[in-house]
Structure 1
Amino acid sequence: MTPTLALLFSFAFFYPIVMSFFWMSGGLYYYFRRERKSRTRTDPPSMETYPAATILVPCYNEADNVDETIAAALAQRYPDFEVIAINDGSSDDTAGKLNQLAAQHERLRVIHLDRNLGKANAMRMGALAARSEYLLCVDGDALLDEYALHWMVWHLVSGPRVGAVTGNPRIRNRSTLLGRLQVGEFSSIIGMIKRAQRVYGRLFTVSGVISAFRRTALHRIGYWSEDMVTEDIDISWRLQMDHWDIRYEPNALCFILMPETLRGLWKQRLRWAQGGVEVLLRHTGDLLRWRGRRMWGVLAEYLLSVVWAYTMLFIIVLWLLGKFMPMPEGLYVHTILPSWHGVILAMVCLLQFASSLIIDRRYETHVGRNYYWMIWYPVAYWMLSLFTTVTALPKTLLKRRGKRAIWTSPDRGFR
């Protein structure tokens, strides 16, 4: 094996391990420093005043879910808030159901848009119609915990430079193996990453399904971009580049539906990967300037993930070529099946899941029931990340610039 190929193999092997320890150390530090002895979810910190807040619920073809979503939004244990539902040209009975709910609840207002213009535009319309400075955005199929708004507003009023807060999504459909795997993913991967990134300085993204914003900060940067497939990643980078702070609040729970078919999961993760590439292409030039230095860690972490994906692709291609044609000894890859490398990766992964159990049992008592299924997750997560990243880069480069990102109805699993 040539020195170059040996270096690629080493990078492909050590990158997941190093990132796992990076996330574990940051996540556990965050937990022991900020969570372990802090207030419980049902006992949020008091505030001197309780300013008005607005919950924005953008909806597109949410007739099956909107009753539950609006009910959870209206059940917030917060004294002064309104709910604005934005119907973005739905083709089902979403409009009729929202009108019925608005007639029953004084706190609820409904905005109807005549055609599908995308989630970013819907949230912008809601933000402009809001009567308050503090906005909590939640997807039309998500259920807010009754204390979520209180926790989010508490962060926003705690400092004048807090521009956004991201909450803690929890999976509520767990009838299949994919559903159970995603329970572990959101606790031991996504939640751990957000904690670690918060410790190290900057978040890659708020959770689009539950995030709160200061309207002044949104106005300064021009609100959400309507041509980005993942408006949450873009808004996160632009806020932080404008020197606004983004925080993570694990007590702000939100119960969400996730794909439980391979096709639905692929489409969702490809969109996430494409959104990351779009943000990278649009903002890297600004980030490389000295004023964007605080985002360099996030940028480096993302670039390394892209390099890892293409490194793995290169190794797989060499292995396939070796099966069908003679290859130089220095380029011949004997196998890509896990050997002792795979055992080490699996042990590190299970250690990461065990660390997440220490943290997540605070929010979900029986989360450990899904620990058994996590043995399959290293292959599922890293392979999915590999192929979506490899696919997303050329797809994004070939995408027509300025094209509006409109809604599509996702796979929401089996209920």
Structure 2
Amino acid sequence: MDWYEYLAVFVMLYPGIMAVYWTLSGLFYFLFWENRTEEPEYVFQEAAPMVSVLIPCYNEADNLDVSIPHLLNLTYPNYELIFINDGSTDDTLEIIRRWALEAEKIVVIDQPNNGKAVAMNTGARHAQGEYIVGIDGDAILDYSAIEYMIQNLENNPGLGAVTGNPRVRNRSTVLGKLQVAEFSSIIGLIKRSQSVVGTLFTVSGVIMCIRKDVLNEIGGWSDNMITDDIDVSWKTQIAGYNIAYEPRALCWVLMPETIRGLYRQRLRWAQGGAEVIMKYLKQIWRLQNIRLWPLYIEYFLTLFWAYTLFIITLFGICGWIFGYQHDFTPFKVASLITFMMFILQFSVSIFIDSRYERDLFRYFISCIWYPYAFWLMNSITLIHGFPKALLRDKHRKATWVSPDRGVQ
């Protein structure tokens, strides 16, 4: 085998190796923690700690009349809803004010468009709660989601934050259905795997809970980071706190259902991840942050894999044009092994997630190939997003544009 063939085998085997790692560690998490947790008691307690739910809104007029009634019916006994209108140009502010007249729980804040991080910091300053929950304007929380997250934080003083379990609401297109499988078989399994050691690459911005005193200690959300949720996760962990995944805290969200919208979303995630990796590069290698080293190592291995895929693809095209021959037998064997690992990952993860959503196995046949698409998009967005992160203006505020929310 020559160097090209060795790299080709690495490119094909790496996703399969990660699938095995995520599957085994995720299954361990499920069997020895997730499957043994008791139901929270806060719904029966009058003295439940106060929780402030922050909902930053930018042009959410099409979604609020659907999401707000669900938020008013949460079973947690002691919470407030703080809506921050971030300079919307549609009827968002009017809709929030109309609902505020009907429900005392609703607090309305209006500000110029300064981005999600500024909106979250503004909401946190007005929050009365001991805990801060952050969700998006289109999110529909499961009615018991808050008590599951609070149960974690109350029982584990070393936890700084908890992230929930996002579920895809819109499933009318092929892309929507594929993302249902992705959140179950890949994203959920990765979070379970990372939770085994008490660290996560990110709390999800669509459903997270953080102690207010921890938020004040780390200085809130950073307004110059394109993915403020990844940044606040690393700020929390570098401050010495762990963060955890709570799969019972379900949150139904709208996801992109066009190729363009999906790519823009994943590019933002890739750029944001790279920004955070570079921001904390000097701090991470201190001995007190040793528990975060596996996340860094995995990130740079995946980055190396993405650029290696790009290089061997270019050389492969050149070889085909000029008639160079390679022995692809090891590559074919590696491909078969990786495919079998994807089947294992898909089977285990859907079995686990069927605890929270029935009939997930109907996506098995149609979506079994999706891990290939996931890894391909992951490589393209990493290759595109990493240079963008290196060249970004670090002093510019990260304002937002409403994402593609799919066909509703």
Please give the range of the TM-score, normalised by the shorter of the 2 chains: over 0.9
CA distance in 2, matches of 1:202, 1:78: 27
The C-alpha deviation readout for 1:134-153, integer Å capped at 9, x for no partner, is 01111001100000111112
CA distance in 2, matches of 1:181, 1:197: 23
CA distance in 1, matches of 2:376, 2:385: 14
Aligned to 1:22: 21
Q: Percent identity?
A: 45
Note if contact 1:55-1:73 (Cα within 8 Å) is conserved in structure 2. Answer: no
Note if contact 1:177-1:373 (Cα within 8 Å) is conserved in structure 2. Answer: no
CA distance in 1, matches of 2:37, 2:148: 13
The counterpart of 1:242, out of the listed 239, 243, 249, is 239
Offset, 1:333: 5.4
SS at match of 2:208: strand
Offset, 1:287: 0.2
Task: Give 1:67's aligned amino acid.
Answer: D
CA distance in 2, matches of 1:265, 1:192: 21
Aligned to 2:260: 263
Aligned residues: 406
Aligned to 2:160: 163
CA distance in 1, matches of 2:41, 2:17: 36
Aligned to 2:339: 346
CA distance in 2, matches of 1:412, 1:234: 24
**Once structures 1 and 2 are overlaid, which stretch shifts more, 314-323 or 371-380?**
371-380
Distance 1:322 1:150, change over 3 A: same
Offset, 1:36: 2.5
The C-alpha deviation readout for 1:203-222, integer Å capped at 9, x for no partner, is 11101100001011111111
The C-alpha deviation readout for 1:226-268, integer Å capped at 9, x for no partner, is 0111111111111001111211111100001101110000000
The counterpart of 2:102, out of the listed 97, 101, 104, is 104
Note if contact 2:13-2:337 (Cα within 8 Å) is conserved in structure 1. Answer: no
| Superposition pairs of residues 81-230 of structure 1, within 5 angstroms | 81-113=79-111, 115-230=112-227
CA distance in 1, matches of 2:276, 2:151: 29
Task: Give 2:225's aligned amino acid.
Answer: M
Note if contact 1:145-1:253 (Cα within 8 Å) is conserved in structure 2. Answer: yes
Residue 44 of structure 1 pairs with residue 40 of structure 2? yes
The C-alpha deviation readout for 1:103-139, integer Å capped at 9, x for no partner, is 11111011000x2101000000001100111011110
SS at match of 1:200: coil
Aligned to 2:295: 298
Offset, 1:24: 0.4
The counterpart of 1:313, out of the listed 283, 294, 310, is 310
TM-score by length of 1: 0.94
Note if contact 1:135-1:213 (Cα within 8 Å) is conserved in structure 2. Answer: yes
SS at match of 2:266: helix
Task: Give 2:187's aligned amino acid.
Answer: I
Task: Give 2:59's aligned amino acid.
Answer: N
The C-alpha deviation readout for 1:260-309, integer Å capped at 9, x for no partner, is 11000000000000011101111011101222211101111111110110
Higher RCO by CA contacts (8 Å cutoff, separation 6 or greater): 2
Note if contact 1:134-1:156 (Cα within 8 Å) is conserved in structure 2. Answer: no
Residue 372 of structure 1 pairs with residue 365 of structure 2? yes
Distance 1:221 1:38, change over 3 A: closer
CA distance in 2, matches of 1:344, 1:245: 35
Task: Give 1:5's aligned amino acid.
Answer: Y
**Once structures 1 and 2 are overlaid, which stretch shifts more, 101-110 or 159-168?**
159-168
The C-alpha deviation readout for 1:324-352, integer Å capped at 9, x for no partner, is 3466xxxx65779x844333322211111
